[in-house]
A and B are shown apart, each in its own frame.
Chain A
Amino acid sequence: MAQIFHHSSNTFARMTLYGAIFFVAFIGWAGYTLDRSHWATRQHVPREQPIPFSHAHHVGGEGFDCRYCHTSVENSSFAGLPATEICMNCHSQIWRTSPTLEPVRESYRTGQSISWTRVHDLPDYVYFNHSIHVAKGVGCESCHGRVDRMPLMQQENSLQMEWCLNCHRHPERYVRPKEFITQMGYVPAGDQEEIGKRLVQEYHIQDARTLTSCSTCHR
């Protein structure tokens, strides 16, 4: 009886068996890498907007406080996106004929909202509240980065849960005095850990066990 398989089949069989381990490992690695890639998180990817609004110009150049436009950041979960009216406070006076700003004027004329592309978009099962973070000394910059240097808005951090937990586990490493909440380029006057520990006490920031309870963010 003739042999069905050539002798080299043994090699192929072995390669396949050992290869399978590498293949599975590769799939795992690829998934892991993809999940954390900037492609998936959209970190550092400037997003196209209906109007090329520049935070660099308004915050960095003109020195606007964040709260001029993001009016509800201290009172609500949602920081608030400026109503067209707020844009028109200035732009009914300056750059009145700029073609770039035509969508703003059109919105004001027609009463149709401007549809901005969301840059910081948490999954729907995450309930983030701006007001409490601001009240407890988490600066805008801590999450949003140096927006005063961003011509087009982009996401500074991954916004993945691991990143959130960094601070929920060790708030003392990130908090700052409330008077510097909206300041860009804040540098702690001394050792951050030391200042942070003092602020955690002063602001009655809850302990890590409470802050990392699932229902703090998920409900």
Chain B
Amino acid sequence: MNNRLGFMSTTGILGAIIVLIAVGAWTFFLGQGLFSPGALNSSSAGKALGGVTNHAALGGQCAACHGSPWGARTQAQLCMSCHTDVSTQIQGHSGLHSGIVGSSSAPTCRGCHTEHHGANGVLTVLDEATFPHDLTGYSLAKHTRKSNGTRFTCADCHGTDIAHFDQTVCGTCHAQMDSAFMAQHEKAFGKSCLACHNGSGKDGANFDHNKLAFKLTGKHAGLACERCHTGVGASAKGPQFTPQDCYSCHAKDDKHNGTFGQQCGQCHTPAGWANAKFDHSIFPVNHGSRGGQQASCQTCHPKSLSEYTCYGCHAHTPANIVRRHEGRALADLANCIRCHAGGRGEGGD
């Protein structure tokens, strides 16, 4: 009677041994590609990292990404030996990857990034519920639900490639919500939505310009944004970079042809160009007038109202002034009011 276990077949054991030898020989001569669960991504990244422009170009060099479990380097370290931009972010405590590493107790690259899904396979898979989207610089605070009440999915904005974002997507949806506004808004600011918007909503309907340093009063109130914030879209800079000095916008409105300088606010207010008031108290207009007569503007401002000179009155000649201010060069003595405030004779330097 054969007392052997039924499965202890000689041919069976021989078959198993042949399989092991065949796999060993294949691995030795042809590499470890036999164990690959699928083709690597072959879309070119443009510039080469670690000598290749995509993972597929690594061929059967599994060890480029897979260290042995007992090896010195972790898989994340192997990733970052090529992807140095990521390690720079993490070490510099800036950017998305730094934020993710900081918010996770055991961060790994493969927690979000995947491979072996074919030549065009996805390389990033995120947990939509927990991904800290704020760290990308764009909050989803105002994008939890679509206008029809259903929840947003990653694909609604990102399509098939979650790692990239095409800003024209913003316009497509928002034009459906208010086409007239979007047409005017895009015409004024362009389509670089992210230059101004960060998703937090504070640049939306609740935005109050008067909480900023540049208050909108008088004729400035009620203007369309693009009247001041011109070229924002083209320059890809936010409206916060709009110049705040009067002349940047109002040079074309200058009736004085520049003769009064560029400090419009010394005379004018946002209430309007009319009713300009200039406080001449810094130097009395009736200074030095004879018999109560006021000197004409040209007496002190012969060239333009933004410049003055004391020469030409009294004994104020350059030679006299130099003589009476012994030891000083004439160039130092042009701004008389600096010491002779109010026109008084004694200086106070």
Co-assembled chains A and B: no
Listed in ascending order, the chain B residues whose CB lies under 8 Å from chain A are: none
Listed in ascending order, the chain A residues whose CB lies under 8 Å from chain B are: none
